[in-house]
Amino acid sequence: MAEQVIQCSSACTVTVRHELTIAGLNIDIPTAFQLGGAIALCWCIAYFWKVIGDSVKPDRSDERET
């Protein structure tokens, strides 16, 4: 956010800086993209292993029709 500078009548200058900070989320944009990319990569790997597991698992739908 933009800083707000207040000039006093005496020899002082006050600079007010408004920030909203949340503990644990004080990261910059490139770090946030790296973290999001790592999470997305984990989801993709898990989905890949699920597809592999589903393709290897035998189909038991024929056994239940009797």
User: Tokens representing 38?
Assistant: 């790592």
For Cα atoms 53, 56, 62, give the angle at the middle one, nearest 5 degrees: 115
Tens of pLDDT, residue by residue over 26-66, are 788 898 899 999 999 999 999 999 999 988 887 777 666 55
Tens of pLDDT, residue by residue over 57-66, are 877 776 665 5
Q: What percent of the chain has pLDDT over 70?
A: 76
Three-class SS of residue 16? strand
Q: What whole-number distance in Å separates Cα of residue 46 and Cα of residue 50?
A: 6
Tens of pLDDT, residue by residue over 10-23, are 777 667 777 777 77
pTM for the model stands at 0.51
pLDDT value at residue 51: 93
Q: What whole-number distance in Å separates Cα of residue 44 and Cα of residue 33?
A: 16
